[in-house]
Amino acid sequence: MYEFHGNKQRYFDMTHQVTVGHIIPFLQSNWVFPKDMTVLEIGCGEAGVLKAFTDMGYKCTGIELEENRLEFAREFMKSELENGTVQFLNKDIYHVIPESDLGTHFDLIILKDVIEHIPDQARFMPQLERFLKPGGKVFFAFPPWQMPYGGHQQVLPQKWASKLPYYHLLPGKWYPLVLKMLGVKPNGIKTMEEIRSTGISIERFLIICKACNLSVCDKKFYLFNPIYQYKFGIKPRTQNVVFASIPWLRNYITMGVYYLVEKSN
């Protein structure tokens, strides 16, 4: 586990910086933002991503299941809450009614480092259409499950358990057994197994998009995820185009992917 995992202000600042420095430029590379764009982030956490959009004058909404994370969001975005440029909702997305709960639909929906934690993505992703305006788009950022730390083992407090790559890919009961051998406590093993149950590859993501009638507007693959610049001082590096074009192999050597999708005509 690294210091920033427990430092909510620092994590807020890092997600804000990566949004300003990388996510917004990616979005704007092939899309002109609507003048009065409305933005929804699902799984907004402390709302560092939304801060970048409110700074641009856009109205934003954050939905988050963990109330304790929203408490930090309300603290960090106090002035935006007071002037009405952001609102937050603590509610299960399946139970949210956009018209009555949020009062609007959205030009842009953001899921940054979220889709890989959602059970049954094939059930979840069709829900997004309920929140979109006509012509609206959805941005996804996620680490492919098979990448070196796709199991999120870096959040573990045990030294070797947090630093060893790829062992989250061990089959069956071997993974929890190795976690136990590395000193991980039962609650930590449970968390790691929950993450394993929801991990998603690039190919599975694209299969679900196709089933939901979502088409890819733009994509970007990273050998070194942009957030690593703020977490570890490692400069972002895009994936080699040849490796990025090879299905399945690319999951093992790509630390993060950006996708912008929209409803197909």
Phi and psi based region of residue 135 (left: phi greater than 0; alpha: psi -120 to 50; beta: remaining)? left
Predicted pLDDT of residue 213: 97
Burial of 32 (0-12, 13-18, 19+ CB in 10 A): exposed
Predicted pLDDT of residue 7: 86
In which band, very low, low, confident or very high, does the pLDDT at 230 lie, cut at 50, 70 and 90?
confident
Cβ-Cβ contacts under 8 Å for 219 (sequence gap 6 or more): 257, 258, 259, 260
Strand 106-112 to 86-89 pairing: unpaired
In which band, very low, low, confident or very high, does the pLDDT at 232 lie, cut at 50, 70 and 90?
confident
Rounded to an integer, the average pLDDT of 242-247 is 97
In which band, very low, low, confident or very high, does the pLDDT at 153 lie, cut at 50, 70 and 90?
very high
Cβ-Cβ contacts under 8 Å for 194 (sequence gap 6 or more): none
Rounded to an integer, the average pLDDT of 10-30 is 97
> Residue 175 in contact with residue 193, Cβ under 8 Å?
yes
Task: Give pTM, 2 decimals.
Answer: 0.95
Predicted pLDDT of residue 55: 98
Give 124-136 pLDDT, tens digit per residue: 999 999 999 999 9
Of all residues in the chain, the percent with pLDDT exceeding 90 is 94
In which band, very low, low, confident or very high, does the pLDDT at 5 lie, cut at 50, 70 and 90?
low
* Least confidently predicted of 6-20, 52-66, 194-208: 6-20
Domains and CATH numbers, the chain: 3-144+199-263 (3.40.50.150), 153-198 (no CATH)
> Residue 257 in contact with residue 247, Cβ under 8 Å?
no
Give 35-65 pLDDT, tens digit per residue: 999 999 999 999 999 999 999 999 999 999 9
In which band, very low, low, confident or very high, does the pLDDT at 231 lie, cut at 50, 70 and 90?
confident
In which band, very low, low, confident or very high, does the pLDDT at 103 lie, cut at 50, 70 and 90?
very high
Judge whether residue 1 has pLDDT over 70.
Answer: no
Sign of CA dihedral 100, 101, 102, 107: negative
Q: Which amino acid is at 129?
A: E
| Closest among 22, 73, 56 to 238, alpha carbons compared | 22
Rounded to an integer, the average pLDDT of 142-146 is 98
Predicted pLDDT of residue 4: 53
Distance CA 201, CA 78 (A): 37
